[in-house]
Amino acid sequence: MNMRKSRQRLLENRFRLLSDDSREFFECSQKPSRKSLHVNTLKTTKSEVVSALEDQGFTLRQIPWASGGYWAEGSSLSDTVEYFLGHYYLQESSMMIPPEMLEPVGGDVVLDVAAAPGGKTIYIAGLMENSGCIVANEPNAKRRKTLRFNLSKYGVLSAVVSSTDFSRELKSSVKFSKILLDAPCSCEGQFRKNPLSWKQWSLAKIIRYSRLQKKMLANALELLQPGGVLVYSTCTLAPEENEEVVDYALKNFDDIKLQPIGKQKFKYRKGLTEWNGRKYSTKVEDCVRVYPQDNDTEGFFTAKIVKCAR
């Protein structure tokens, strides 16, 4: 790790407290992440993509928790005709978990709060077979341009692109049956994909993001209809941005509860009920922590929140 020694020590100490196998975490985080893709069923079939890529010398292996997800070995996945055709989207395998947890179905009205660059929106549109309505939201104009490009490239006909800033006070009465909040975060779980993020890590950043995430989650929950589902996710392992944010929501909204996800095809750990002298509701144990070494992926956090039906 190439970072100031004091910051390095702080980071290492935090991860030692986060798990008993921090050595495995650091070892795994030094290795490059596995390349993975998700087949875009709006334009093609899984068998067509697998067959085409294997013909070109790629080796594909099905990702157990993602329908249409594959790890791929071989050079330059973004240089194929099939990639140009929008037949698959390059996406980290752990990022395929939130759309699957959301379980969107045809007819749903879905909000993707921080949609850019669009991978999860495209995934959701595929699960919904281009039916229903997905509001793909992104407040940053440059990122929104990328989002629109990707939605078009992958043939999404069911998306409305919106520019709402969920960090500010919202004046909206629209209600959604499903909401995905894959929140901006400190990206501690992405050290494998982006080695620069070691250098950019700081505790101040974590605290700033935590404040932002609480606002975004509170705003998103206001737009969730009774009986609706919100999946909150980040690619960081910092409890301040994860369990603390979910705990904040549980304390401020008396009509929501966490839904345990039960047995899954990936290894995961329970949410932490205390961190750095702060105690959280015991209900946050139903949150989901995925460390890089658990499934040889990037690190990840997610929570499935249900608003009680009236």
Partner 1 sequence: MRTLKIMNSREKESLLKELQSKFGLDVKQFQKLVFMQDSSEIWISNKDCLTQELDLPVESVGLLLARKKPEMQLTVNAVQLYCSQTAKNTIQLDRNNAQEFIRGHKLTTEKPDGLYTMKYGGRALDLGWVEKTILKRKNP
Q: Is 273 in the site for partner 1 (CB under 8 A)?
A: no
CA dist., res. 252 & res. 266, Å (int): 31
CA dist., res. 97 & res. 91, Å (int): 11
Q: Is 181 in the site for partner 1 (CB under 8 A)?
A: no
Q: Is 160 in the site for partner 1 (CB under 8 A)?
A: yes
- Select from 122, 159, 229, 250 the one that contacts partner 1 (CB under 8 A): 159
Q: Which amino acid is at 292?
A: P
Pair of tokens at residue 15 = 């991860």
Number of H helices and E strands in the chain, helices first, is 11, 15
Pair of tokens at residue 263 = 């047995």
Measured from the CB atom, is 134 or 237 closer to partner 1? 134
Q: Is 148 in the site for partner 1 (CB under 8 A)?
A: yes
- 272 DSSP 8-state letter: P
Measured from the CB atom, is 177 or 234 closer to partner 1? 177
Measured from the CB atom, is 130 or 281 closer to partner 1? 130
Which of 143, 149, 222 has the alpha carbon at shortest distance from 184? Answer: 143
Measured from the CB atom, is 60 or 111 closer to partner 1? 111
> Is 235 labeled as catalytic in the residue annotation?
yes
Q: Which of 28, 185, 187, 235 is catalytic?
A: 235
Which range in 9-17, 147-155, 253-261, 294-302 contacts partner 1 by CB under 8 A?
A: 147-155
Supply the minimum distance, in Å, between the C-beta of residue 205 and partner 1.
Answer: 29
Task: Give rounded-to-5 percent helix, strand, coil for the chain.
Answer: 40, 20, 40
Q: Which amino acid is at 44?
A: T
Q: Is 152 in the site for partner 1 (CB under 8 A)?
A: yes
CA dist., res. 117 & res. 143, Å (int): 6
Measured from the CB atom, is 96 or 147 closer to partner 1? 147
- Select from 18, 53, 102, 109 the one that contacts partner 1 (CB under 8 A): 109
CA dist., res. 295 & res. 291, Å (int): 8
DSSP E strand boundaries for 170-255 = 176-182, 224-234
Which of 304, 305, 307, 184 has the alpha carbon at shortest distance from 241? Answer: 184
Which range in 23-31, 144-152, 237-245, 297-305 contacts partner 1 by CB under 8 A?
A: 144-152
Which range in 33-41, 131-139, 251-259, 274-282 contacts partner 1 by CB under 8 A?
A: 131-139
Residue 114 DSSP SS3: coil
Q: Is 193 in the site for partner 1 (CB under 8 A)?
A: no
Annotated catalytic residues are: 235
Interface positions with partner 1 (CB under 8 A): 43, 79, 81, 84-86, 107, 109, 130-133, 135, 137, 144, 148, 151-153, 155-164, 171-174
